[in-house]
Amino acid sequence: MHSIKIASLQLKVYEDKYENIERLAELVAGGAAEGADIISLPEIWNSPYQTDLFPVNAEPEQGDSWLAMSTIARKNGVYMVGGSIPELGEDGHIYNTCYVFDREGRQIGKHRKVHLFDIYAHGEQVFKESDTLTAGSSFDTFGTEWCRMAVNICFDIRFPESSRIPALAGAKVIFNPASFNMTTGPAHWELAFRQRAVENQVYMVGTAAAHDPDAGYKAYGHSIITDPWGRVLMQMDEKEGHAITEIDLDYVDEVRQRLPLLSARRTDIYDLHYSVL
């Protein structure tokens, strides 16, 4: 059995960036990653999830939050799927970006959120990431000592191509750091992760920020991992905490042999174009 232990860190997000960085280091050092191979963080873990604060907390690559994740990965000898932080790009635009680090703290992957969360739900819920963020433009996989993996971020999961493209490129595990809210979370959180896991016969790892009733944006929490058969292996409640989940990569191959969805695709009448970096 080719197994991996994933530590899902459901963090409470504070207003001060450096308090969030210190809290991250404490949780990992305090045992949240004990026995884990990979640490998975939430979407925008170093800043409140508010569009006006993204420019305030944006950092260039290799900024303080990047350095903290790299250092924590190296000191603990683990991979780090770094949720996401506001990234100040070289072009001057701000992106919602996930960095991935190996056991030596080296960056091995990067994903900029492709589908920005712009909604206007009958005036009841209005949120526009595009007010301050710029969308990414690719879905890429990254290599690990076990298999290829991938990242998409929150709203990306709503679009089937976001998971299908990495799966066709060889990913067996797809991480989705996310911040569903108290409307979309109860309605679609578990459904979305089970759906994408079944369609692509992969493990889906959703890591969320903890619910904070006093925050401007109230995250749903409920970090989750679903397996290639669509079963929920782990789901947390809304509170801050961590969970360690063991997954079996051989099960991906077993499910794909049992129910050959990917190999049965009718590529003679439809196709998706993708690239492997």
All structural domains of the chain with their residue ranges: 3-258
Contact 209, 13 (CB under 8 A): yes
| DSSP H or E stretch at residue 121 | strand 118-121
Annotated active-site residue in 59, 110, 154, 218: 154
Contact 219, 179 (CB under 8 A): yes
Q: What integer pLDDT is reported at residue 15 of this predicted model?
A: 95
HSE-up of residue 158 (Cα within 13 Å, Cβ side): 15
Q: What integer pLDDT is reported at residue 121 of this predicted model?
A: 56
Q: What integer pLDDT is reported at residue 201 of this predicted model?
A: 98
Local structure of 251: helix, strand or coil:
helix
C-alpha–C-alpha distance, residues 246 and 83, integer Å: 19
pTM: 0.94
DSSP label at 165? H
Residues of the chain with pLDDT under 50: none
Does the active-site annotation cover 218?
no
Annotated active-site residue in 12, 17, 43, 110: 43
DSSP label at 239? S
Annotated active-site residue in 12, 17, 110, 113: 113
Q: What integer pLDDT is reported at residue 125 of this predicted model?
A: 64
C-alpha–C-alpha distance, residues 201 and 170, integer Å: 11
Q: What integer pLDDT is reported at residue 33 of this predicted model?
A: 79
Does the active-site annotation cover 124?
no
Which residues, 6 or more positions from 103, have their beta carbon under 8 angstroms from its beta carbon?
Answer: 73, 74, 77, 78, 79
The domain made up of 3-258 is a member of CATH 3.60.110.10: yes
C-alpha–C-alpha distance, residues 16 and 177, integer Å: 20
Does the active-site annotation cover 113?
yes
Contact 39, 81 (CB under 8 A): yes
C-alpha–C-alpha distance, residues 126 and 137, integer Å: 24
